[in-house]
Amino acid sequence: MRAVSRAAAVAARLMAVDWRDERDRALAEADSRAVLLLEYFRRAANWVEWCGGTEDWPFVDLAELVDPTVVIPAEVAAPFEAYLHDNVGLFSASEMSRAAVRWAVLTEVSTVPRPALEDPYEPLIRCFELGGGLATEGHWVDLWMMMIPKRKPADYAGPDRVTLLLDRLAAVGWNDDRAATRHEGSRAALFAEYLRRMGSWALEHEAGRPWPTLDPVEFLDPSVRVDERHAGHLERIVAEHSLGPLTARLCRNAVRWAELGRWRAVGEEDPFEPLLRCFERGGQLFTENRVALFGAGGVPFRTAAECAGWRPLESLEAGRLDALDRG
C-alpha cells in the first residue's frame, strides 16, 4: 500500500498543475523554473552516469534504466492517464509526468541496488508547479520566455551547490594567523562588501533585523531546511575548528542560502560570496565593540541602511584582492 500511496501523491501533485495557464505564471516564474530545470538536469545526469548512459537525454525515464520491471499500479495509472490525455498536450511534459510517478513506485518496491543519489524528478515537478510544461526545440528546452541548452549529461553531472560550498568551508584555514595577517586589507574590504550587499538586500526586502547576522532565507522562505547530511557536515567543521559564534552563524546562513538557491532564483549578486572569500583568505572573524577586527583596523557594524550606501568593491578577482593587501 505504501508504494501506491507515494505514487498517488506524486500523481496528485501533477494533476493539480494548471497546465492550461502555463504561459502567464511561467513568465513570472521564469528564473526559478530555469533553476529547477537545471537542478533536474544535474540530478538526472548523475543517475544516467551511474546507469551507464542513455540516448533519451535529457528527459529520461530513469525507472526504466534502473529497474524496467516497475509499473504504475492500475488504480493510479488509470485516472492519471485519463488526466494526462485531457489536460497535458506537450509530449515532454506528459512523458516526464509518467516518469516521475513511475520513479515514485520504484523507490517503494524495487529491490535493485542503487546509489544514494537525490530524487531526480522533484525539481522537475516543482518546475511544472510554477508554470506548467515545457517543450523541446532541437538542442534547446523551451521554457516559453527562456531557452536552456540540453548539452550532455557529463556537462551537468556533479555535486549540488551546498556540497560545493561545504567543500570550500572545509578547505578554509580557519586558524591561519599568517594568512589573516597577510590579507588584512583584502579581508576588510571583502567583509565590508558582504555588509554592503546584505544591507542592500535587507533594505529591498524590509528585513533589517537581526543585523549583521541577517539570515535572508528566514525572510524569503523559512520552510527551507538543509539536508541532515549537509547540516551535520557543517557542524563538524564548526566543532573541529572551534569557530566563534559569529563565524558559525554566518556559515549556517550561507549554507541555507545555497540550499534555497537549488529551488528558486535568488538574484545575480550573491551576498555571501565576499564573506566566503574573506574566510578563504584568513579564517574566521573576531570582533570587539561591534567592529570586525582586521589587524590594526576594522569594519564597524553600521546599520543596514548605512552599509548599503558604501562603495561597492570593484572586483573579487584574486589579483585585485592581492593588490589591496600590498597597498
* 1 has pLDDT over 50: no
Find the mean pLDDT for residues 221-247: 96
Q: What is the pTM of this model?
A: 0.91
27 φ/ψ angles, rounded to the nearest 5 degrees: -65, -45
Neighbours of 308 (CB within 10 A): 18
Angle at 223 between CA 235 and CA 257, to 5 degrees: 55
pLDDT tens per residue across span 273-307? 999 999 999 999 999 999 999 988 899 999 999 99
pLDDT tens per residue across span 17-63? 988 766 778 788 889 999 999 999 999 999 999 999 998 899 999 99
What is the distance between the alpha carbons of residues 236 and 242, in angstroms, rounded to a whole number?
10
Q: What is the helix (H) or strand (E) element at residue 231, kind and residue range?
A: helix 228-240
pLDDT at residue 91 in the model: 85
* 180 has pLDDT over 50: yes
- High-pLDDT (> 90) share of the chain, %: 81
What is the distance between the alpha carbons of residues 16 and 88, in angstroms, rounded to a whole number?
12
* Mean pLDDT value across the chain: 93
Angle at 37 between CA 36 and CA 43, to 5 degrees: 90
Contacts of 270 (CB under 8 A, 6+ apart): 197, 257
